[in-house]
A and B are shown apart, each in its own frame.
Chain A
Amino acid sequence: MTATDRPRTFPGTPATSGSDIGLSRLRAADLIPVATGGLRTRRVRVLLSMLGIAIGISAVVAVLGITRSSQADLLARLDRLGTNLLTVVNGSNLSDAEVPLPATATTTIGHTEGVEAVAPTAELAGVGVYRSDKIPPQITGGLSVRAADSSLVSTLGADMLAGTYLNEATSRYPTTVLGHTAAETLGITDLSGAPRVWLGGRWYTVIGILRPIELASEINRSALIGFPVAARDFAYNDRPSRIYVRSQTERTLEVFEVLARAANPKNPNEVAVSRPSDVLTARLEVANATTTMFVGLGAVALLVGGIGIANVMVISVLERRSEIGLRRALGAARRHVAAQFVVESFLLGTAGGVAGVLVGVTVTYGMAVHLGWQVIIPPAAMSAGLGTAMAIGVLSGIYPALRAASMPPTQALRTS
């Protein structure tokens, strides 16, 4: 044979040591097509194995998005209603009726530093309100009659659903403004035909209906009459039983502390001061707890999804033994075989993650729009979701990849 001197395109040098052997190398740019080769030939299985991750990620993204959007809604309401509304009561007696405060309470509270507005109300004990004079007095429907003045509307930020609120003039006459629930309970939906109610044994004309007031549900359940007419008809003695206080927002806590003493200097510990917005704040905390739970469920779905991918990858490795053997014969080192399967698994996870984020965003968007919330999808939820999916892809691929890499080439080539 005389081929020795033939010029060669890929020369081999007759060295005797192993040090100058070209290493087996795979370009990073080739890794992606090599890894997707296995995916392109098994599309259905690829889709199914992505499903777990996609469900998990979409659950997490949607839950975070929905709670964040709903919280934004709660926060916006809190903002609108204000966290600076305080109520002062003198406790309640055994029959659950409010106990009157000292007559001076309104004035002293009004003079307290940091107080912006004060609205006294007095629950008129034993006075009921009914649709007609035929109804037995003990059937109260949970409604009460309360004396109030125009400061109530400004302090609570209340709006009228129909009619007008009490003014100086109407406060002197048997007229009433109904809270939203009270109007519903009494079956009065509008003011056409000048509806009247049987209030404390007299006919009162309904001149207005309030919209629901979020932070003062007792007003919703009340029929409001003026102080002068209350004094005349029901012997109201100038002692309020519940006072609404608007403080300067930044001084709310300070005002909170001193209100009891201001309202009832003799027996401050009988007075209960509360902040109605705490209920909404508590609801925010409940929402947070629910989120944690759902995110936990999403994490379980992700775990299951990861196991699903690992499972598919193990099967794929077994099915592709001859491909692995071939690649080893062509010069692939163990690390290249491992990299191929890890990248394949990574791509599966990533695709699942992208699908999951898209679904999660869509669900959040649809839900928020449907409920009239502002759509808020935390970017961190999206990037963390995608990142998690990628990490799960890599982690699920490690074991199958190690199996593929440790397969002896001769054995891999024998099976087909």
Chain B
Amino acid sequence: MSVVLEVRDAWKVYPGNPPVESVRGVSFTVERGELVAIVGPSGSGKTTILNMAAGLDRPTSGSIRIAGRAAHGLSDRRLSGLRAHHMGVVFQRFHLLDHLSALDNVATGLLYRAIPGGRRRAAAAEALERVGLGHRAHHRPHELSGGEQQRVAIARAVVGRPELVFADEPTGNLDTGSGAGVLALLDELNGDGTTIVVITHSEEVARAGRRHIEMRDGQIVHDSRSSG
């Protein structure tokens, strides 16, 4: 088994009076092909740990290794390169660019790898097919439903076949039906071999029956694969 993500004793302390310790000594590993759900109450540090794992934020202390590479000490350009080449991110607010079609939004996922436009769009068309939206490629985000927009965002995250896909409450802005559809899609992508770390609500994960990490007050209180 190969380890794709390794978080070791990560701390995140926001300076202030008193300082906010939003993540306090978190360690876990994710192996290739896993789907890991991070659950826990609001404010427990889920987003903070996900952002650090995705290289969007740096831990105050501790180490993060992504696809075997230590994230700390990397220059901005290399850390960004790590995101561009090895990771995909999905947000609760879909963050699609309004002036671009669904296809071009998905192709943006390859923009910072300096892949020529033609190849980006070809890969984007394929990714849209994978999320079942091949027929909506030329629609603008505002012409799509919330669930469809999130599927476009997921296609954008997976268009470069990254080693790791992070999703922060991808169903948070969706009704139950579309939310279930999005989770089913993540399941399906995971079945195809994509490694996924997703923050979500516990009932949905219970239904999925996969590994979950439960957080509280900045610490992991339960990991269903306790060996991690």
Contacts and interface: CB of A to CB of B under 8 A. Distances in A.
Given A10-B162, A25-B114, A330 B108 contact: yes
A12 to B, nearest CB: 5
Contacts of B117: 29-30
B80 A10 contact: no
A15 B2 CA distance: 12
Given A3-B33, A14-B2, A26 B93 contact: no
A52 B76 CA distance: 36
A18 interface: yes
A6 B2 CA distance: 13
Contact of A333 (B1, B33, B112): B112
Nearest to B94: A326
A27 B116 contact: yes
B66 to A, nearest CB: 9
Interface string B75-90: 0111011111111010
B109 interface: yes
B113 A331 contact: yes
B85 A333 contact: no
A10 B33 contact: no
Select the residue from B69, B98, B156 with max chain A CB neighbours within 10 A: B69
B31 interface: yes
Nearest to A4: B32
Contacts of A332: 80, 84, 111-112
Nearest to A2: B33
Interface string B37-70: 0000000000000010010110000000001111
A21 interface: yes
Contacts of A17: 69
B84 A330 contact: yes
Interface string A313-355: 0000000001101111111111110000000000000000000
Interface string A17-39: 11001111111011000100100
Say which size band chain B's interface belongs to.
35 or more
B100 interface: yes
A6 to B, nearest CB: 5
A372 B77 CA distance: 61
B193 A6 contact: yes
Given A10-B85, A330-B108, A37 B100 contact: yes
Interface stretch (A187-195, A233-241, A406-414): A406-414
A10 B161 contact: yes
A24 B57 contact: no
Contacts of B93: 322, 416
Nearest to B31: A1
A297 to B, nearest CB: 38
A180 to B, nearest CB: 68
Contact of A40 (B69, B99, B112): B99
A325 to B, nearest CB: 8
Contacts of B112: 24-26, 327, 330-333, 336
A18 B2 contact: no
A410 B56 contact: yes
A41 interface: yes
A16 interface: yes
A370 interface: no
B57 A410 contact: yes
A323 B97 contact: yes
B144 interface: no
Nearest to A27: B114
B113 A22 contact: yes
A8 interface: yes
Given A25-B113, A326-B95, A410-B51, A331 B100 contact: no
B77 A24 contact: yes
Contacts of A12: 67, 85-86, 162-163
A138 interface: no
A267 interface: no
Contacts of B98: 41
A4 B2 contact: yes
B21 interface: no
A330 B193 CA distance: 21
Contact of A322 (B51, B80, B95): B95
Contacts of B161: 8-10
A131 B51 CA distance: 101
A334 B99 contact: no
B33 A21 contact: no
B74 interface: yes
Contacts of A15: 68-69
B9 interface: no
B160 interface: yes
Interface string A236-261: 00000000000000000000000000
Interface string B3-46: 00000000000000000000000000001111000000000000
29 contacts: A2-B33, A3-B192, A4-B1, A8-B161, A14-B68, A16-B68, A18-B73, A21-B69, A21-B74, A22-B81, A22-B113, A23-B77, A24-B77, A25-B112, A26-B114, A30-B117, A322-B93, A323-B95, A329-B56, A329-B91, A330-B89, A330-B108, A330-B109, A330-B111, A331-B87, A331-B113, A410-B51, A410-B56, A416-B95
Given A22-B81, A25-B113, A331-B81, 13 more contacts: A1-B1, A1-B33, A3-B195, A9-B161, A18-B74, A21-B86, A24-B84, A37-B99, A40-B99, A322-B95, A326-B95, A329-B83, A332-B112
Interface of A: 1-4, 6, 8-10, 12, 14-18, 21-27, 29-30, 34, 37, 40-41, 322-323, 325-336, 408-410, 413, 416
User: 3 shortest A-B CB distances, which residue pairs?
Assistant: A331-B84, A1-B33, A3-B193
